[in-house]
């Protein structure tokens, strides 16, 4: 279920900062962070300068699962979340006493926007016998309806656990990830018809051509991609799993089917590896994302400074929603804490 059209924004064009200007703005942000007892949490897909700043200030650069865990355990009074809106909302759900700021509250997500609350609740009402499992890329209101929240790094384990208990699953919103999980686990699942605009643009026929040009390259695929792309993968996994694969696999070249913002961390940890973006269905003006999320691109040093200086971009969540949404998130975090280490 889902026939919504998503308005995809153009990639923002941030003015290029000269080296001295970049140093100056980072120093101002660091001062403001100290004054506000703030910590910076950045996703692998945001601008490299933001990822570097998070590490320089003892913050966190991670996937959405680790971002949630880090924020929940931080002693900071303020969380600065560089990513997309659901990440800031998750931080606020887990930390209602903290101020949560984002550089741009309009930085949403095609999966989130494509799963509106009213329609999703109707879908759930049609399947009352199923456990509702929602991907992290959803609103607080959708999480409030869920039995479980999952990220790509833990979805297989949780659905496998539910399947072994004999539970049937209602999955939302990413159909590609859901069908991959179903294929691996054998679970009885029904799907919301959503897709990430970045990963949905990776196409199997185009990937085949690139593989012929780079026959020694390993193919690394995020499971939000279509099955025709997943079927060509040497490794399928979350952003954290793909970074680990680049470090551990012996190949010198890798074709990467996920947002190319991840290349910064991959180059940092495996500087001698050659990374190649998997091809999208279009190039230039004909592709919606061109392997980089336009909403992630709304995060920059410039508007991060504005957010912390002016206290703009604050995440606010109705307390009644928060109390219901926290159940599915904490269920995932507790499951993650208790599962065997990998």
**Dihedral pair phi/psi, residue 231, rounded to 5°:** -65, -20
Question: Does residue 74 carry a pLDDT above 70?
Answer: yes
What is d(CA 59, CA 26) in angstroms, rounded to the nearest whole number? 14
Q: Which domain holds residue 238?
A: 199-286
- Please indicate, yes or no, whether residues 63 and 74 belong to a single structural domain of this protein: yes
- Please indicate, yes or no, whether residues 159 and 228 belong to a single structural domain of this protein: no
Cα 131 to Cα 139, 247, 342, distances in angstroms = 18, 37, 26
Residue 60: strand pairing partners: 41
Domain tally for the chain? 3
- Please indicate, yes or no, whether residues 103 and 23 belong to a single structural domain of this protein: yes
Q: Single out the residue of 222, 247, 244, 249 nearest to residue 233, CA to CA.
A: 222
What is d(CA 182, CA 189) in angstroms, rounded to the nearest whole number? 7
For residue 185, is it within any domain?
Answer: yes
Cα 303 to Cα 29, 33, 62, 78, distances in angstroms = 10, 14, 21, 16
What is d(CA 329, CA 144) in angstroms, rounded to the nearest whole number? 9
Write the DSSP symbol of residue 6. Answer: P
CATH number for position 212: 3.40.50.10800
Check: CB of residue 162 under 8 Å from CB of residue 133: yes
For residue 206, is it within any domain?
Answer: yes
Mean pLDDT, range 118-138, rounded to an integer = 97
Mean pLDDT, range 4-20, rounded to an integer = 81
- Please indicate, yes or no, whether residues 124 and 146 belong to a single structural domain of this protein: yes
- Please indicate, yes or no, whether residues 171 and 212 belong to a single structural domain of this protein: no
For residue 7, is it within any domain?
Answer: no
Q: What is the mean pLDDT of the chain?
A: 93
Q: Single out the residue of 210, 162, 204 nearest to residue 187, CA to CA.
A: 162
- Please indicate, yes or no, whether residues 96 and 149 belong to a single structural domain of this protein: no
Angle formed at CA 330 by CA 322 and CA 63, multiple of 5 degrees: 100
Omega before 173 within 30 of 0, i.e. cis: yes
- Please indicate, yes or no, whether residues 265 and 328 belong to a single structural domain of this protein: no
What is d(CA 276, CA 202) in angstroms, rounded to the nearest whole number? 13
For residue 242, is it within any domain?
Answer: yes
Residue-wise pLDDT tens digits, 133-147: 999 999 999 999 999
For residue 291, is it within any domain?
Answer: no
Q: How far apart are the first and last CA of the chain?
A: 35
- Please indicate, yes or no, whether residues 127 and 263 belong to a single structural domain of this protein: no
What distance separates the 2 farthest-apart alpha carbons in the chain? 60
- Please indicate, yes or no, whether residues 228 and 242 belong to a single structural domain of this protein: yes
- Please indicate, yes or no, whether residues 264 and 191 belong to a single structural domain of this protein: no
Residue-wise pLDDT tens digits, 166-225: 999 999 999 999 999 999 999 999 999 999 999 998 889 999 999 999 999 999 999 999
For residue 13, is it within any domain?
Answer: no
Check: CB of residue 28 under 8 Å from CB of residue 305: yes
CA atoms within 13 A on the CB side of 63: 19
- Please indicate, yes or no, whether residues 203 and 176 belong to a single structural domain of this protein: no
For residue 4, is it within any domain?
Answer: no
For residue 69, is it within any domain?
Answer: yes
Residue-wise pLDDT tens digits, 270-323: 999 999 999 887 544 445 557 889 999 999 999 999 999 999 999 999 999 999
What is d(CA 326, CA 91) in angstroms, rounded to the nearest whole number? 10
- Please indicate, yes or no, whether residues 210 and 280 belong to a single structural domain of this protein: yes
């Amino acid at each position: 279920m889902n026939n919504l059209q998503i308005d995809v924004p153009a990639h923002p064009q941030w003015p290029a900062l000269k080296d001295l200007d970049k140093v100056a703005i980072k120093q101002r942000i660091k001062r403001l962070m100290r004054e506000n007892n703030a910590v910076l949490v950045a996703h692998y897909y945001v601008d490299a300068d933001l990822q570097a700043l998070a590490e320089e200030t003892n913050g966190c650069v991670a996937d959405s699962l680790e971002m949630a865990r880090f924020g929940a355990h931080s002693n900071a009074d303020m969380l600065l979340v560089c990513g997309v809106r659901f990440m800031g909302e998750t931080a606020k759900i887990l930390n209602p006493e903290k101020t949560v700021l984002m550089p741009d509250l309009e930085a949403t997500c095609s999966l989130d926007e494509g799963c509106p609350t009213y329609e999703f609740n109707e879908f759930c009402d049609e399947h009352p016998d199923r456990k509702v499992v929602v991907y992290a890329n959803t609103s607080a209101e959708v999480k409030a309806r869920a039995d479980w929240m999952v990220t790509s790094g833990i979805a297989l384990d949780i659905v496998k656990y539910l399947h072994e208990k004999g539970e049937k699953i209602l999955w939302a919103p990413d159909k590609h990830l859901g069908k991959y999980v179903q294929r691996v686990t054998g679970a009885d699942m029904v799907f919301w018809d959503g897709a990430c605009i970045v990963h949905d643009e990776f196409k199997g026929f185009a990937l085949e051509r690139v593989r012929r040009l780079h026959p020694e390259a390993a193919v690394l695929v995020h499971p939000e991609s279509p099955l025709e792309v997943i079927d060509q993968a040497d490794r399928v996994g979350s952003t954290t799993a793909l970074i680990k694969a680049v470090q551990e696999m012996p190949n010198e070249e890798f074709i990467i089917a996920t947002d190319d913002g991840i290349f910064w961390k991959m180059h940092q940890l495996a500087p001698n590896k050659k990374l190649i973006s998997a091809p999208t269905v279009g190039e230039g003006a004909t592709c919606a994302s061109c392997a980089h999320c336009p909403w992630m691109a709304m995060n920059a040093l410039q508007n991060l400074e504005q957010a912390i200086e002016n206290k703009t971009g604050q995440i606010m969540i109705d307390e009644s929603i928060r109390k219901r949404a926290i159940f599915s998130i904490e269920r995932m975090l507790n499951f993650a804490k208790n599962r065997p280490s990998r």
